[in-house]
Amino acid sequence: MHENVPIRIVIYAKDISNITGRKERTARKIIAQIRRKYNKKPGDLVTIYEFCEHTGLSEVRVRQFLTR
């Protein structure tokens, strides 16, 4: 039976670490940069779209990676 994976909007430091191969601390720094870029407050969630816009990665590829 195929299990349906819900579509996510938010990306977390662990996801960024897995995608980029960087350490989780560096991934948290990337999230902080994105928050500053989009004038978000500390603790505000970062979307996959914002991450892709910031890094230049394809949103389709990132979503494919996250659903594996």
- pLDDT digit string, tens, across residues 4-62: 656 889 999 999 999 999 999 999 999 999 999 999 999 999 999 999 999 999 999 99
- DSSP for the chain reads -PPPPPPP-EE-HHHHHHHH---HHHHHHHHHHHHHHTTPPTT--EEHHHHHHHH---HHHHHHHHH-
Distance from C-alpha of 46 to C-alpha of 50, rounded to nearest angstrom: 7
